[in-house]
Structure 1
Amino acid sequence: MTDTGCSLSAAARELGLDRRTVGKYARAATWQDCVRRTRPRRPTSLYPYLEYLRQRWEKGEHTATVLHQEIAAKGYRGHYQRVKMAIAPLRRGLPIDTPRERPPSPREVARWIATTPSRRSLHAAEALRRLFEYCPELNRTHDLVRQFAAMLDARDSTPLPDWLDQLATSRLPALASLAKAIREDLPAVVQGITTPFNSGVNEGRITDLKLQKRIMAGRAGVPLLRHRVILMAMLRRRYP
């Protein structure tokens, strides 16, 4: 039961959420109760030797093979590669127990670049800054994407010819190919920039139809598909 007297099941139906999710938020006393907690890392067999590795590093021993031999003589039974990975942060000037960050996927980076800078999370903004330092080509691509986004926001295609020239002379084959493709269909692109109309709604309905066919493993007939598509459209209107 929520504070408003509504049952969890009714709240879940109204919000379009799972009942367990609604129950978790209803029971939360503070916002911290709603945040997924990261489990603390378990100490590994290398953990007792980290301080020794740090001291030896500060004294000038930077060879992973030698360090592995030294701690092996002290009782360490782990592999050499674990020692090599453990001292990797020291080579970057970081503490030895700093966990290695998973590199972002190309899809993540593309989403960050396509997102308006003011709406990016602090993590995304910082990750992009570091990527731009190591990859000037990506920084250039980001600037060009944001220029095109500005044209869409203002519905102004005036800067488009100059923007296409920048793509063609960017020395990035993918962008040069994109510029060529846009020039071949330039009137349609200008129309798409300057008018509020787009095919997004139609694409969404096509996606709904394909989803329903996949759910039915390709065996759904036209009458059943029609019924399910209409039901999906009703749900979209109720839960936009």
Structure 2
Amino acid sequence: MLTDRTAETLTAWLQAHPGVEIICRDRAAAYAEGAREGAPDALQVADRWHVWNNLAGAVERTVARHQKCLNAAVDTAAEPNPDADSDADQQHGQYGVTAPVQPVQPEDRTDRIATRTRERYTAIHALLADGVGIRAISARLHLARGTVRRFARADTVEELLTCNGTGRRPSLLDEFKPYLRQRWGEGCTNAAALFAEVKARGYRGGQKILREYLRPFRAAGRIPEPLPKPPSVRRVVGWIMSDPSNMDEEGQRQLDAILAASSQLAALAGHVRAFATMMCGLRGHELEEWMNAVDADDQPGLRSFVVGLRRDQDAVTAGLTLPYNSGPVEGHVNRIKMIKRQMYGRAKTDLLRKRVLLSD
């Protein structure tokens, strides 16, 4: 057990334990440096799971930039209602509304929040470019890891300033919409009465939003049938990253519709399948060709991934060629975490080391 994740600590341990021939590691720059300094003759092998996970992050950023194409996965047969164009109703395909969402411009935010967001984005991406990991960035900038990941996934700061990159402003009415549909179906069609009811249930918005949400109901004389929601970005990423033979028929149908709606996503899926074939077949000698193909394509997210691969190309090539992986180590990491949780996370390194050794 090492006391921390710094390069210096790993270097010191390796120098105190000479003879290490193969070091299988994740993509953290600190481990790469520590291995290089502490055991220069050892072969570094990038763990395949971590490489695949890095690729998934690049795929997620790309899919997030093409969210409108995800609507192709659902049936949009309902006619759009031109009267229902409020922010509260501008969900993907809800009640047939297809009016374009107007993004929130940075100047609509307070200067303080916008400035802080820009500074954080610049700092996080500068550290990422230097190979610093999410956890290290979190500790250095005193930010939650989830926050760091959100900033890391954004290709531009505008994605963070514009509705967190979702393309839609969350409505205060969202959580009350199922209740409103239920009450409308029960015969309560008075907006003032419904407003009083949801107000009593915790709604903090104004009556105007509620009235605009109910307008399509009143115009149609009945509750419009809600259209299926498009799949989430993460679900689409999961489909793209999955073996087609393991997908169910409905998931494959939706993915096919999305890829047909976007040539960029279709090309992205092709690159992912090629990488998976190379990785599963341990054909690391094909990595350079794969990276060149990505560089020649219009795939900013994958190009960023390739930049990281080139910085660590020897270790990645070894990971895609040799059978070694970090699976056993990850198992021990999970065991250590479990032991630490049993002590409510308050164990110092010396006590934790004893607990780990005595638990064997």
* Alignment-mate amino acid for residue 188 of structure 1: A
Distance 2:217 2:304 in 1: 40
CA 1:199–1:63 in 2, change beyond 3 Å: closer, same or farther?
closer
Distance 2:289 2:246 in 1: 27
Matched, 1:154 2:267: no
Q: Does the CA-based 8 Å contact 1:212-1:225 persist in structure 2?
A: no
TM-score normalised according to structure 2 size? 0.37
Residue matched to 1:217: 344
CA 1:111–1:205 in 2, change beyond 3 Å: closer, same or farther?
farther
Residue matched to 2:292: 165
Distance 2:266 2:287 in 1: 20
Q: Does the CA-based 8 Å contact 1:209-1:229 persist in structure 2?
A: no
What are the superposed Cα offsets for residues 12-49 of structure 1, whole Å, 9 maximum, x if unpaired? xxxxxxxxxxxxxxxxxxxxxxxxxxxxxxxxxxxxxx
What are the superposed Cα offsets for residues 60-80 of structure 1, whole Å, 9 maximum, x if unpaired? x96447xxxxxxxxx943534
Secondary structure of the residue aligned to 1:126 is: helix
Distance 1:217 1:203 in 2: 21
Deviation of 1:119 (Å): 0.3
Give unpaired runs (5+ residues) of structure 2. Answer: 1-77, 85-187, 192-210
Residue matched to 2:190: 77
* Alignment-mate amino acid for residue 197 of structure 1: Y
Residue matched to 2:199: none
Residue matched to 2:330: 203
* Alignment-mate amino acid for residue 81 of structure 1: Y
CA 1:226–1:142 in 2, change beyond 3 Å: closer, same or farther?
farther
Q: Does the CA-based 8 Å contact 1:169-1:176 persist in structure 2?
A: no
Distance 1:165 1:147 in 2: 13
Distance 2:306 2:276 in 1: 15
Percent identity for Structure 1 against Structure 2:
27
Residues 95-134 of structure 1: pairs in structure 2 closer than 5 A: 97=225, 99-134=226-261
* Alignment-mate amino acid for residue 284 of structure 2: S
Q: Does the CA-based 8 Å contact 2:278-2:284 persist in structure 1?
A: yes
Q: Does the CA-based 8 Å contact 1:113-1:142 persist in structure 2?
A: yes
* Alignment-mate amino acid for residue 240 of structure 2: I
Matched, 1:191 2:318: yes
Q: Does the CA-based 8 Å contact 1:212-1:228 persist in structure 2?
A: yes
Residue matched to 1:135: 262
Secondary structure of the residue aligned to 2:285 is: coil
Give unpaired runs (5+ residues) of structure 1. Answer: 1-53, 66-74, 88-95, 234-240
* Alignment-mate amino acid for residue 326 of structure 2: S
* Alignment-mate amino acid for residue 108 of structure 1: R
Deviation of 1:162 (Å): 1.8
Distance 1:119 1:86 in 2: 45
Q: Which has the larger radius of gyration?
A: 1
Residue matched to 1:174: 301
CA 1:226–1:167 in 2, change beyond 3 Å: closer, same or farther?
farther
Q: Does the CA-based 8 Å contact 2:279-2:320 persist in structure 1?
A: yes
What are the superposed Cα offsets for residues 190-217 of structure 1, whole Å, 9 maximum, x if unpaired? 2111111111221232233234424533
* Alignment-mate amino acid for residue 146 of structure 1: R
Residue matched to 1:21: none
Ranked by relative contact order (alpha carbons within 8 Å, sequence separation 6 or more), the top structure is 2
Q: Does the CA-based 8 Å contact 1:155-1:194 persist in structure 2?
A: yes
Q: Does the CA-based 8 Å contact 2:259-2:265 persist in structure 1?
A: yes
Distance 1:172 1:85 in 2: 42
CA 1:84–1:212 in 2, change beyond 3 Å: closer, same or farther?
farther
